[in-house]
Amino acid sequence: MTHNFITRLLAEKPDATAPDGSEVRILAATLRGSMAQFSLPAGKVSIAVCHRTVDELWYFTSGSGKLWRQINRAEETIDVHSGISISIPGGTQFQFHAISIPLR
């Protein structure tokens, strides 16, 4: 059996821009899963989007801001900051606002 271990250093510059306007830095990825770092500069607001077929799990490593999310009739706006993790189930509309240093 062959193992394909993946090791990747965080890129200094973004690899891409997400549809919501946040900067994307690709991290380790395999055929069954992947990781990426997303950041939004302080004072910026992302474009509201909805992922129809994937669930996302976020962990904030720096900054502070607000996150709005809505699915069906459930809706909330929460404060986010370093140390918070959140889920965005498929079908959820969401948008975030970076208040202090880049929100990551």
**pLDDT in single tens digits along all 104 residues of the chain:** 567 889 999 999 999 999 999 999 999 988 888 899 999 999 999 999 998 888 999 999 999 999 999 999 999 999 999 999 999 999 999 999 999 877 78
Print the domain residue range for 68: 16-98
The span from the CA of 51 to the CA of 10, in Å, is 24
Prediction pTM value? 0.84
State pLDDT tens for residues 12-41.
Answer: 999 999 999 999 999 998 888 889 999 999
Distances in whole angstroms, Cα of residue 77 to Cα of each of 6, 7, 10, 17, 85: 36, 35, 30, 24, 14
3 within domain boundaries:
no
Closest CA to 35 of 25, 45, 23: 25
66 within domain boundaries:
yes
6 within domain boundaries:
no
10 within domain boundaries:
no
Give the CATH number for residue 80.
2.60.120.10
Q: What is the DSSP letter of 72?
A: T
**Count of domains in the chain?**
1
72 within domain boundaries:
yes
104 within domain boundaries:
no
26 within domain boundaries:
yes
11 within domain boundaries:
no
